């Protein structure tokens, strides 16, 4: 009995020892030398793997930062400037501060403003209904309302408003850009968040002539150009019957929203104006 | 009785308008002729606002290899060449002509006399078909002259003529075979000459016994042409299924029928070829079935291209009050119209009116894994899987599962007991997979 135990202990033990030696040698031979800084950077990133930086995931961004030893043009939207600063100080690099951004839905063609003329019953994906027809409201540029953007969001930062049928971006948006790619009509844009989250933008991307645009939607940009004349900072570009506010030049002076005849220019998170109460927007919207 | 083996469905036929003889629809007041009515590159307009045109005059030239000429279907003044909403609601370029009288271009034979003899050579025939803007009239609108030019290394043995009309409701080909049989047969002989083939088979489903008998009676005058009755099954009118049913050859995945020595044309195309070659008449009108259960007079109209759909509905007794949906084409592959002013194009074989009750889709439930869609798919695909993969944006897997072989016949959507929008997802997947494949080759 004792002998059997002894033999098995010795044989298994020596087998184990041989295996250990082989494994050690193999591990030495095929050793992957990885820069330890990659792990450091990787730990400092939020780990959301959203792809907002333009790389395949957080690890890929970390590898790129360490490989290039510079952080030019690299930005982590969910981590923001804080994460980038921490990485910069950990690696001894320099980073430029980026303005915080947010996704903005540039369409207000709700069921009220662009009444449905036809009814869509097919598969509820924007990609398909975009390939099929112009949309229930008839605007070939407007929101289709099937919610591809909501589905694409990893952060639960966008939802469909039941009454208007339009998506609404919540404040926790990290501007990763997933919804921008998901939208087949390029309605969603990443814009500067602005001071105190204040933003002014043209909430329409319709490039048709005014009359045609207005026929389908009451709040479409009709390309009248009034806002362009009103703007003293050359922030509004006018192209293809459509006004576009450049967020880098816009000073948030709030001169353009009141002159827009269709209320296509939206202002967000501003306090109500003292001399002109909010009644104006209500009456024209109704 | 011959038919294809794999899959297929039997939707109710509902050929309400089969007794209605082809009537000529009066020339409409204005026509809107889109410059892209065919597969391939859109034609280039050669007229401008204010020009006077005659019926049959060339107004847009198809300059690319796969493209087709477009001719004025009425005489009058060009009102504008502009973007107008098409069937889908998107704005696409069209030529709008205001009708003044009905003056035809010189050289077009408007008489109804039958001309059997054709003295032209094969090249001249193809050239003429190209000039006159003939496209496949079955609905796919592929330019016909391209099909009649056999690529190098290929050899055509059979000309297959599609008189199946497997779509429920539609009767335009049926009526054409009854009323213009000799013209169609002459057209077939012309196409046979162009292709240098000795044999032509006309495939007709046996729910049209009158058409089969009528054409059979005329056959002795047309050597090489034969008629083959087929069992009724949808989608027998699809090119690959028809070849399988008639001569039991299988077209390989991703290949054209010429690979197995066949060229397939529709009976409507044969008629158009006859008119183009023998009468010098471009493709400016076609037979359109207007039908629906609550429509007063389901009819078959010889309609000028560019006529608004609303005019057709008026001519058929007006829009019934309970109409819920108007479909361009048949119930299986047709597309619902979002705009009744959209014009009849070269590919419009029918306009179908559904009542409110019929027009809605089934309520969508979960997939119950009954595998009926797999059983009936005529291409042997797995529609439930393709739909799922496409919905999850897994386009590479879609490609591996041969999504590009889907011909969008809609059988899976028809059979699904859970009412799942299988075809919608597959169409979307096909578009995306196609994009992926094209970007790879660039």
More confident residue, B312 or A281: B312
Calculate the alpha carbon distances from B345 to B37, B100, B179 in Å.
6, 21, 22
Whether A284 has a pLDDT exceeding 60, the answer reads: no
Instruction: Check whether A143 has a pLDDT greater than 50.
Output: yes
Confidence bin at A190 (pLDDT 50/70/90): very high
State whether B428 and A128 contact (CB < 8 Å). yes
Answer whether residue A52 shows pLDDT above 70. yes
A122 vs B391, B421, B431: nearest CB = B421
A127: chain B residues, CB-CB within 8 Å: 428, 432
Q: Choose, out of B80, B87, B89, the residue to mutate when testing the contact with A (most A CBs < 10 Å).
A: B89
Tell whether A40 lies on the interface with B, counting CB pairs under 8 A.
no
| pLDDT level of residue A1 (50, 70, 90 thresholds) | low
CATH number of B27-99: 2.40.50.100
Chain A residues within 8 A of B425 when measuring between CB atoms? 123, 125, 128
Residue A148, chain B, CB below 8 Å: the answer is no
Q: Which pLDDT belongs to residue A282?
A: 40
The minimal CB distance from A134 to the residues B89, B361, B428 is found for B89
| Whether B159 contacts B200, CB under 8 Å | yes
Contact B32, B64 (CB under 8 A): no
Residues A266-283, mean pLDDT to the nearest whole number = 66
Please give, rounded to a whole number of angstroms, the shortest distance from the CA of B435 to a CA of chain A.
13
More confident of the two residues A276 and B185: B185
Nearest residue in A to B388, CA atom: A123
Chain A interface test: which of B323, B383, B394, B428 (most A C-beta within 10 Å): B428
Residues near A2 by beta carbon (within 8 Å), at least 6 away in sequence: none
Contacts of B340 in chain A (CB under 8 A): none
Give the pLDDT band of residue A276 (cuts 50, 70, 90). low
**Cα distance between residue B360 and residue B365, in whole Å:** 15
Q: Are B424 and A122 in contact (CB < 8 Å)?
A: yes
Residue A93: predicted pLDDT: 87
Contact A123 B431 (CB under 8 A): no
User: B116: how many CB neighbours lie within 10 A of its CB?
Assistant: 13
Which has the closest alpha carbon to B118: B42, B192, B22, B53?
A: B192
Q: Does A125 contact B at CB distance below 8 Å?
A: yes
Domain boundaries, chain A: 37-91, 101-268
Q: Which two tokens stand for residue A275?
A: 């001399």
Per the omega criterion (within 30 degrees of 0), is the bond before A249 cis? Answer: no
Do residue A123 and residue B338 have CB atoms under 8 angstroms apart?
Answer: no
Is residue B323 helix, strand or coil? strand
Q: Where are the domains of chain B?
A: 27-99, 122-279, 283-355, 372-439
Probe site for chain B from A116, A117, A128 (most B CB atoms < 10 A): A128
> Looking at domain A37-91, which CATH architecture does it have?
Orthogonal Bundle (1.10)
Q: Which residue in A127, A134, A212 is closest to B338 by CB distance?
A: A134
Residue B320 contacts residue B258 (beta carbons within 8 Å): no
**Cα B410 to chain center, whole Å?**
16
Q: Could you count the other beta carbons within 10 Å of the beta carbon of residue A26?
A: 10
**Nearest Cα residue in chain B from A134:** B89
Chain A residues touching B360 at Cβ < 8 A: 121
- Residue A275: per-residue pLDDT: 62
Cβ pair B67, B42 in contact under 8 A:
yes
Distance in angstroms (rounded) separating the CA atoms of residues B344 and B272: 16
More confident of the two residues B307 and A69: B307
Q: In whole angstroms, what is the distance from residue A133 CA to residue A111 CA?
A: 17
If you measure CA to CA, which chain A residue comes closest to B426? Answer: A128
Closest Cβ opposite residue A121 in set B90, B91, B361: B361
Contacts of A131 in chain B (CB under 8 A): 427-428, 431
CATH architecture type of domain A101-268:
2-Layer Sandwich (3.30)
**pLDDT (tens digit per residue) in B119-153:** 899 999 999 999 999 999 988 899 999 998 888 88
CA dihedral B232, B238, B242, B248 (to 10 degrees): -120
Secondary structure class of B302 (helix, strand, coil):
strand
Looking at CA atoms only, how far is residue A224 from chain B in angstroms? 21
The interface predicted TM-score (ipTM) is 0.85
Q: Does A131 touch chain B (CB under 8 A)?
A: yes
pLDDT tens digits along A5-26: 999 999 999 999 999 999 999 9
**DSSP string for A204-229:** ----S-HHHHHHH-TT------HHHH
Which chain A residues have a beta carbon less than 8 Å from that of B361? 121-122
Distance between B90 CA and the closest CA of chain A, angstroms: 5
CA quadruple A262, A268, A112, A106: dihedral sign? positive
Q: What pLDDT score does A280 carry? A: 43
Interchain proximity B89–A140, CB inside 8 Å: yes
CATH for the stretch B122-279? 3.40.50.11540
* Candidate from A123, A135, A208 with C-beta closest to B421: A123
Q: In chain B, what residues touch A122 (CB-CB under 8 Å)?
A: 361, 421, 424
Question: Is residue B396 helix, strand or coil?
Answer: helix
Residue A279 has pLDDT above 70, yes or no: no
Interface contacts (A, B; CB < 8 Å): 47
Chain B CA closest to residue A208: B91
Digit-coded pLDDT (tens) for B232-248: 999 999 999 999 999 99
Give the residues of chain B that fall short of pLDDT 50.
none
Q: Chain B closest CA to A28's CA: distance in Å?
A: 38
Residue A131 to residue B431, Cβ atoms within 8 A? yes
Contact of A133 with chain B, judged by CB distance below 8 Å, is answered with yes
Min Cα distance B338 → chain A (Å) is 6
Question: Could you say which of A121, A123, A133 has the minimum Cβ distance to residue B89?
Answer: A133
CB contact under 8 Å between B338 and A118, yes or no, is: yes
What CATH code is assigned to B283-355? 3.10.20.600
**Which residues of B make CB contacts under 8 Å with A?**
85, 88-91, 335-336, 338, 360-361, 391, 421, 424-425, 427-428, 431-432
Nearest to B424 among A128, A134, A138 (CB): A128
């Amino acid at each position: 009995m004792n002998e059997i135990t002894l033999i098995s202990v010795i044989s298994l033990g020596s087998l184990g020892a041989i295996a250990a030696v082989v494994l050690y040698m193999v591990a030495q031979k095929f050793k992957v030398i990885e820069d330890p800084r990659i792990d450091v950077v990787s730990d400092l990133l939020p780990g959301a793997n959203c792809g907002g930086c333009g790389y395949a995931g957080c690890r890929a961004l970390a590898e790129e930062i360490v490989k290039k030893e510079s952080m030019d043009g690299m930005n982590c939207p969910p981590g923001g400037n804080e994460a980038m600063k921490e990485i910069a100080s950990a690696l001894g690099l320099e980073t430029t501060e980026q303005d915080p951004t947010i996704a903005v839905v540039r369409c207000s063609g709700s069921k009220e403003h662009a009444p449905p003329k036809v009814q869509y019953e097919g598969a509820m994906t924007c990609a398909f209904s975009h390939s099929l027809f112009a949309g229930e409201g008839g605007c070939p540029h407007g929101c289709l309302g099937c919610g591809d953007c909501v589905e694409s969001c990893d952060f639960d930062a966008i939802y469909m408003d039941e009454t208007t049928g339009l998506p609404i971006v919540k404040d926790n948006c990290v501007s990763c850009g997933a919804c921008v790619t998901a939208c087949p009509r390029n309605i969603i844009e990443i814009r500067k968040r602005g001071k105190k989250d204040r933003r002014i933008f043209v909430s329409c991307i319709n490039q048709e002539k005014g009359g045609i645009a207005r026929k389908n939607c009451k709040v479409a940009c009709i390309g009248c150009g009034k806002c362009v004349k009103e703007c003293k900072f050359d922030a509004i570009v006018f192209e293809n019957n459509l006004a576009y506010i450049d967020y880098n030049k816009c000073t948030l002076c709030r001169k353009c929203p009141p002159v827009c005849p269709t209320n296509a220019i939206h202002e967000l998170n501003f306090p109500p104006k003292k001399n002109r109460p909010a009644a104006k927007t209500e009456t024209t919207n109704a | 009785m011959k038919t294809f083996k794999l899959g297929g469905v039997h939707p109710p036929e509902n050929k309400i308008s089969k007794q209605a003889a082809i009537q000529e629809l009066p020339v409409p007041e204005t026509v809107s002729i889109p410059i892209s009515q065919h597969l391939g590159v859109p034609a280039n307009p050669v007229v401008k606002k204010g020009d006077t045109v005659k019926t049959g005059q060339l107004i847009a030239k198809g300059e690319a290899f796969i493209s087709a000429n477009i001719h004025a279907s009425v005489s009058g003044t060009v009102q504008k060449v502009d973007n107008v909403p098409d069937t889908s609601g998107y704005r696409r370029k069209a030529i709008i002509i205001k009708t003044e009288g009905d003056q035809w271009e010189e050289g077009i034979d408007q008489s109804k006399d039958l001309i059997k003899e054709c003295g032209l050579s094969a090249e001249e025939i193809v050239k003429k078909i190209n000039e006159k803007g003939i496209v496949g009239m079955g609905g796919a609108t592929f330019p016909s002259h391209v099909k009649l030019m056999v690529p190098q290394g290929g050899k055509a043995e059979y000309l297959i003529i599609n008189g199946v009309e497997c779509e429920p409701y539609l009767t335009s080909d049926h009526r054409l075979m009854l009323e213009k049989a000799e013209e169609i047969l002459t057209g077939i002989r012309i196409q046979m000459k162009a292709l240098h083939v000795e044999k032509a088979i006309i495939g007709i489903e046996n729910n049209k016994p009158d058409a089969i008998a009528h054409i059979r009676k005329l056959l002795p005058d047309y050597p090489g042409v034969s008629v083959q009755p087929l069992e009724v099954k949808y989608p027998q009118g699809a090119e690959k299924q028809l070849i399988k049913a008639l001569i039991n050859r299988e077209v390989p995945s991703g290949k054209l029928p010429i690979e197995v020595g066949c060229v397939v044309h529709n009976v409507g195309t044969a008629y158009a070829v006859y008119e183009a070659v023998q009468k010098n008449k471009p493709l400016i009108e076609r037979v359109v079935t207007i039908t629906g259960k609550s429509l007063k007079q389901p009819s078959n109209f010889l309609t000028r291209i560019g006529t608004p759909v609303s005019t057709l509905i008026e001519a058929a007794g007006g829009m019934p009050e309970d109409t819920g949906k108007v479909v361009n084409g048949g119930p299986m592959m047709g597309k619902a119209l979002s705009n009744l002013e959209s014009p009849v194009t070269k590919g419009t074989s029918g306009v179908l009116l559904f009542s409110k009750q019929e027009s809605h889709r089934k309520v969508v439930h979960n997939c119950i894994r009954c595998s009926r869609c797999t059983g009936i798919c005529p291409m042997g695909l797995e529609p439930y899987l393709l739909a799922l993969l496409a919905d999850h944006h897994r386009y590479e897997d879609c490609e591996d599962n041969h999504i590009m072989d889907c011909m969008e016949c809609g059988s899976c959507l028809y059979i699904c007991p859970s009412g799942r929008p299988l075809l919608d997802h597959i169409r979307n997947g096909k578009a995306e997979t196609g994009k992926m494949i094209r970007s790879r080759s660039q």
